[in-house]
Structure 1
Amino acid sequence: MPKGPKVRGGRCQVRFGTAELIRDLDRPNGWLLSVDGVAQSYVDLDDPKHLEFDYVRRIADVIDCLPDGPFQTLHVGGGACTLPRYLAATRPGSSQLVFDPDGELVEFVRERLDLRSVPRLRVRVSDGRDGVATRRDDSADLLVLDAFVSAAMPSRLMTVEFLRDVARVLRSTGTFLANISDGPGLAFVKRVVATVADVFDDVLLLADPAVLRGRRFGNLVIAASDTPLPVQDVTRRAASAAFPARLVIGDKVHEFRQGAKPITDAAVITTPTPSKNAFT
């Protein structure tokens, strides 16, 4: 008996709320994934290189400036797997493993958005911290952290102890990338930068200038490595983007985080959330 048309959109009750897939009226196969009304991911099934959210484009810009070739990549946080799809298209041969604790959401995305079609991609239902702990030393080239419960980032994913485990798993030339959100004052992201700088030798911060000046809530991208990051190439890409970004690098990183204490497992941190949907 012939199968009916593939069901794409719709709603589903998942672990952390109600997930919804909404079609983009401007792109024939573009889909927005939200959970409890908070935008989580955007994918274009016809063009995985199309990145709708500015912060995702900035993460991809850093990745694009890294040395050529496939990557062994870990992702903490899955959503609709926008970046794994992008990497599969731009870095063919890459092996990727995603950790996401929401099994219902993983299954929803797997069935509605053709997750099985992404080559060399595995998705494991697991807390990201527990998942990273299972990986071997020096086994990954890239680790991307983009994990939110609704609009809040779990603070246990940004402690010195966890980032030391990330550094253990990354090869000596590996790169850590994280999406952080914060608002006026940037108190949280300053502590995050202090934490990352406590573990890695080279750190850069990348964001919309208005967000970096504390004028509005928004996303900031942090990149870190124990080898020098491709700052000049990233700077050129950030300056020529449709929505130009500003970099904080070198001594400016230390000025930015001055007075901020690293986050540890012993401290209880309340991560900031926007008053309304502010993910761009």
Structure 2
Amino acid sequence: MSTPSGPTGSRERIVFSDGSTADLVRKEDGWAIEMGGVAQSHLGDPAQPPRLASIRWMLAALGDRPPRRVAHLGGALLALPRALAHRWPSATQTVVELEPALVELARSRFPLPDGITMKTAEARSWLEAHPGSDHDAIVIDVFVGNRIPPAFTSLECMTAARDALSEDGRLILNSVAGPELLFTRRELATLRTLFEHVAMIVQGSALAGARFGNATLIASAAPLDTEVIQAALAGDPSKGALVTDLDPIVDGAEPIHDADELWSPEPNLPDASAALRLLEQARQAVSTLRPASD
């Protein structure tokens, strides 16, 4: 893969169509896009485990069955599609990205592997225009700043995703969990309205409310290969674990609808004293992260 050159730590400003900016930063092990000092995407050697835990979790969530067709809503540096292309070169992947600056960056500076097509389009509209498209997996990884916009949190969006999946296809969401779990609970409730099998990869500390972090949500009409996903997570330094017993988490939460216009919450890391007070809750959450079978 041909990539831009530059010394470690060098930065290049990226200006988005709405006037906001990010930095393309040279790292020792690749390149990263940073916004407000937070890495939004990292691109390294596709033969190595992705640097960001959220990408490793989504890769684990795909299981071990080679997919024929995959759609990714949201692009950035295409860390997940590139890792997937390395693992399964025969897969046909479509990446839908609205921001022209990111599309140009991916196409001209970080050439796409074979099998990946990138489209400049609004991802929700693209999804709704492809019912019956028989995808083995659809990945929703759309953030505006550090938040998921309402168009990608709702029942209507998840219905469009379900309609674009094959009979046993899998929907994977890069989502969040943190001190205020209501959003996560409602997103899980939304998925369970549409899919028989739903699970979540999360850290115990985030599930207990001790910190704000990522959560990978997985949904399918077919049973999930939970043992395969658990094996892929085993030994991961993030300590993410698969949760399949969702009843205590959802706990009567209502599904999200377009009319709610619900964004994911602002990232919020508690201070050290709050984390200490919640330590016991984190320990109790370990029992929720027990191995389970469908």
Indicate the TM-score class for this superposition, using the shorter chain for normalisation. 0.7 to 0.9
Alignment match, 1:82? 79
Contact between 1:38 and 1:150, CA under 8 Å: does it hold in 2?
no
Contact between 1:179 and 1:219, CA under 8 Å: does it hold in 2?
yes
Q: Kindly indicate whether residue 207 of structure 2 is the aligned counterpart of residue 218 of structure 1.
A: no
User: 1:275, CA displacement in angstroms?
Assistant: 4.1
Alignment match, 2:88? 91
Paired with 2:34 and 2:147, the residues of 1 have a C-alpha distance of 14
* Consecutive unaligned residues in structure 1, runs of 5 or more: none
User: 1:168, CA displacement in angstroms?
Assistant: 0.6
SS of match in other structure, 1:161: helix
Paired with 1:102 and 1:189, the residues of 2 have a C-alpha distance of 26
SS of match in other structure, 2:43: strand
Paired with 1:171 and 1:181, the residues of 2 have a C-alpha distance of 26
SS of match in other structure, 1:87: helix
Alignment match, 1:11? 13
SS of match in other structure, 1:266: helix
Paired with 1:239 and 1:93, the residues of 2 have a C-alpha distance of 27
Contact between 1:54 and 1:243, CA under 8 Å: does it hold in 2?
yes
* Consecutive unaligned residues in structure 2, runs of 5 or more: 270-294
Q: Kindly indicate whether residue 169 of structure 2 is the aligned counterpart of residue 167 of structure 1.
A: no
Alignment match, 1:23? 26
1:133 corresponds, among 122, 128, 131, to 128
Contact between 1:10 and 1:21, CA under 8 Å: does it hold in 2?
yes
Alignment match, 1:32? 32
- Residues 1:120 and 1:256: Cα distance change in structure 2 (over 3 Å): same
Contact between 1:172 and 1:226, CA under 8 Å: does it hold in 2?
yes
- Residues 1:47 and 1:238: Cα distance change in structure 2 (over 3 Å): closer
User: 1:36, CA displacement in angstroms?
Assistant: 4.7
The number of equivalent residue pairs is 262
SS of match in other structure, 1:171: strand
1:205-248 deviation digits (Å, cap 9, x = unpaired): 11111111111000000011000001122223323322322222
Aligned-residue RMSD, C-alpha: 1.9
SS of match in other structure, 1:40: strand
State the identity as a percent: 28
**TM-score normalised by structure 2 residue count:** 0.84
Paired with 1:107 and 1:191, the residues of 2 have a C-alpha distance of 35
- Residues 1:6 and 1:220: Cα distance change in structure 2 (over 3 Å): closer
Contact between 1:202 and 1:226, CA under 8 Å: does it hold in 2?
yes
Q: State the AA in 2 paired with 1:35.
A: M
Alignment match, 1:58? 57
User: 1:254, CA displacement in angstroms?
Assistant: 2.0
SS of match in other structure, 1:185: coil
State which drifts further: 34-43 or 172-181: 34-43
SS of match in other structure, 1:177: strand
Paired with 2:186 and 2:59, the residues of 1 have a C-alpha distance of 24
State which drifts further: 136-145 or 6-15: 6-15
Q: State the AA in 1 paired with 2:111.
A: D
Q: Kindly indicate whether residue 246 of structure 2 is the aligned counterpart of residue 253 of structure 1.
A: yes
Contact between 1:235 and 1:247, CA under 8 Å: does it hold in 2?
yes
Q: State the AA in 2 paired with 1:126.
A: A
Paired with 1:6 and 1:160, the residues of 2 have a C-alpha distance of 40
SS of match in other structure, 1:240: coil
Alignment match, 1:102? 99
Paired with 1:179 and 1:223, the residues of 2 have a C-alpha distance of 9
Contact between 1:71 and 1:95, CA under 8 Å: does it hold in 2?
yes
Alignment match, 2:262? 269
User: 1:48, CA displacement in angstroms?
Assistant: 4.8
- Residues 1:47 and 1:135: Cα distance change in structure 2 (over 3 Å): same
Contact between 1:48 and 1:85, CA under 8 Å: does it hold in 2?
no
